[in-house]
Amino acid sequence: MNKLKLDRRTVATARRLAAAAGRPVVDLARSHTTVSVERATLRLAGITGADPDGIPWVNRLVDTVVEQVGLGGGVAGPVFDALQRDGHQDLTLLAQKAAAGSVTFRAETPAAAKRAAARAVKTGLAQVDRRRRERDRLIKRYGDPKQRPWIYLIVATGDIHEDIPQAQAAARAGADVIAVIRSTGQSLLDYVPEGATREGFAGTYATQENFRLMRAALDDTSKEVGRYVRLTNYASGLCMPEIAALAGLERLDMMLNDSMYGILFRDINPIRTFVDQRFSRQVHARAGIIINTGEDNYLTTADAVDAAHTVTVSQLLNEYFAHEAGLEDWQLGLGHAFEINPELPESFRLELAHALLARELFPDAPLKWMPPTKHMTGDVFRGNLLDGFFNLAGALTGQGILLVGMMTEAVVTPWLSDRDIALQNVRYVLSAAGNLHEDFTPGAFIRDRAHTVLGEAVTLLRQIGRQGLLDAIGEGTFGIMRRPADRGKGLDGVAAREPGYFNPAIEILDGPSWTQS
């Protein structure tokens, strides 16, 4: 598809510049570790459960190891060394003893302990692999959605036992993908809560048990509706790597996983974010999970026309980081959004130009198309019309994943009837005009606008290349947020890898390309 007549050389230049800007950050990620990467590794090795205060044993264990021998050598070595010296097999028991202060850890790890650690992590990754094969089987059995884009709906009650019937109802009403919104503030918790949860703020905590419950319920519904219903959650915030691991273990299908969102919007330290992100993406690659990136968020803070090229730049960076971590094109739900002020003349044509640019730059990626939020008002009638145009733009430009817009956006969390009206809107547009892209050839206005945005993206990428990505972020290039590399939350959980750094999960994930057998 080359409806925009994009210049191939400009596109190649943009990719080359994104890679050049991203490479130093990858080097940084490969030379550091974080408490969350180490905790994710131990979770893959089988540790579970939490202390009576709800703090996971994996946190207690990693904190104790870091206190005694530091973080830079990796935590798996000291842990398995202590386990072997102690003569028992159970990590959770070791964590309990360590929390009570009765375990001494050593920095030097004997080879036998390293082998034991590698075996344990391999068992966890084998479970991730099994889950992936299980998904493939279920998709074969029940089938993929008949139409593109896939219809993506959100549930967010705070109570997993309320979320489940709502998610099942949404799937029966036509949702192909269910996202369970997380509780406000979970991204800033430096631990993953444990167990089934019934209290959240404007969302439901991401926990392994909640993942398991919802996936099992949607498996039942998949069978009932005769199509595989996908489940989405958020691998973001301070526990990004751990949540990615839990998602792999419990067969989640999509994860929100942006390269810069936590830095810009949650003030999480940039180095922490990039290190955590690389590990989480490696796990997603292995688990066959589709990531969703968060470019739509830039357009909620900045103007959607002025900042259109920052979306393109971020998509190119997200693509580079994703490929580097082993994700394939079909796993890249690169984000963008319908956020241009509807009062602006020709706003819909501009939206089409931006959406088509993303489509043609990333022809094999299932783009994630986000509905209007910024210009939604309490006028629900106008909101429903705007959502209709959003749906039409999605169909016309071949978007892969369509997050269903609600006319009550900015008014209330969606009611049952809001969701029903929104789905009627999507169904009408897709049935009336789902194949209109066959007849749609953009004219000069849309082509020129797309070329302009791509040109601005290349200019910005050159500037980032000169400056370095971390400095660019530090100086407020994206949105208006200045986020220096030595500030932000979670920095105390970052360490440079020492010469003897040992992490069996990273050794396997960094190893020769894994192929499905």
Partner 1 sequence: MDTVMSAAVIRPYGDTTGDGMVQVSFTLPLAADKRGEGAALQLAGKMGIDPAMVVHARPIGAQHTFFVVYGRVNHLVEPGKVVVAERDYPLLSAKEVNAAIRARLRRKLVVVGACIGTDAHTVGIDAILNVKGIAGEKGLEYYRECRVVNLGAQVAVAALVEHARAEKADAVLVSQVVTQRDAHLTNTREMSAAFREAFPAAKRPLLVVGGPRFDELQTADLGVDRIFGRGTTPREVASYLIHAVGAR
Nearest-approach distance from CB 63 to partner 1, in angstroms: 15
Is 417 a binding residue for partner 1 by CB under 8 A? The answer is: yes
Token digits of residue 388? 């209709």
CA-closest candidate to residue 331, choices 283, 376, 295: 283
Is 219 a residue that touches partner 1 (CB under 8 A)? no
CB 440 within 8 A of CB 396: yes
Closest separation between CB of residue 101 and partner 1, Å?
22
Nearest residue (CB) to partner 1, 12 versus 416? 416
- Measured distance CA(437)–CA(429) in Å, rounded: 12
Candidate list 158, 479, 493, 504; residue touching partner 1; CB under 8 A: 479
Tokens at residue 94, please?
Answer: 């070791």
By CB under 8 A, residue 373 contacts partner 1: yes
Q: Does 420 bind partner 1 (CB under 8 A)?
A: yes
**One character per residue 117-156, x = contact with partner 1 (rule: CB under 8 A):** ----------------------------------------
Q: Is residue 201 a contact residue for partner 1 (CB under 8 A)?
A: yes
Residue 264 binds partner 1 (CB under 8 A): yes
Residue 368 among the catalytic residues: yes
Sign of CA dihedral 215, 217, 219, 225: negative
User: Could you tell me if 242 and 279 are in contact, meaning their C-beta atoms sit under 8 angstroms apart?
Assistant: no
Please say if 234 is a catalytic residue.
Answer: no
**Identity (one letter) of the amino acid at 46?**
G
The answer to the question of residue 410 lying near partner 1 (CB under 8 A) is yes
Closest-CA residue to 264 (of 24, 473, 29, 467): 473
- Distance set, CA 285 to CA 166, 234, 503 (Å): 29, 15, 18
Q: Choose which of 1, 100, 216, 416 interacts with partner 1 (CB under 8 A).
A: 416
Of 82-90, 220-228, 265-273, 342-350: span binding partner 1 (CB under 8 A):
265-273
- The answer, yes or no, to whether the previous bond of 149 is cis (omega within 30 of 0) is yes
Q: Given 152, 368, 387, 489, which residue is catalytic?
A: 368
3-state secondary structure of 335: strand
What is the smallest separation between the CB atom of 72 and partner 1, expressed in angstroms? Answer: 25
* Per-residue binder mask for partner 1 (CB under 8 A), 338-357, x = binder: --------------------
The secondary element (H helix, E strand) that includes residue 254 is: strand 254-256
In this complex, which beta carbon is closest to partner 1, that of residue 83 or of residue 376?
376
* Active-site residue (options: 205, 261, 298, 320): 261
> Residue 13 burial (CB < 10 Å; 0-12/13-18/19+)?
middle
Q: Which range in 121-129, 184-192, 324-332, 453-461 contacts partner 1 by CB under 8 A?
A: 184-192
381: tokens are: 């009638």
- Asked whether 482 and 475 are in contact (CB, 8 A), the reply is yes
140 is catalytic: no
Is 213 a binding residue for partner 1 by CB under 8 A? The answer is no
Token couple for 146: 């008949």
Q: d(Cα 517, Cα 514) in Å, to the nearest integer?
A: 9
- For residues 495 and 33, what is the distance between their CA atoms, to the nearest angstrom? 6
Q: In angstroms, what is the minimal distance from the CB of 202 to partner 1?
A: 8
Q: Does 507 bind partner 1 (CB under 8 A)?
A: no
301 binds partner 1 (CB under 8 A): yes
What distance in Å separates the CA atoms of residue 466 and residue 417, rounded to the nearest whole number?
51
d(CA 248, CA 254): 10
Of 2-10, 17-25, 259-267, 330-338: span binding partner 1 (CB under 8 A): 259-267
Least distance (Å) between residue 390 CB and partner 1: 16
Among 15, 161, 374, 382, binds partner 1 (CB under 8 A): 374
Cα gap 136→421, rounded to integer Å: 32
Q: Which positions are catalytic?
A: 261, 296, 368
**Interaction site with partner 1 (CB under 8 A):** 169, 172-173, 184-185, 188, 201, 264-267, 300-301, 373-374, 376, 409-410, 415-417, 420-421, 479-481, 489
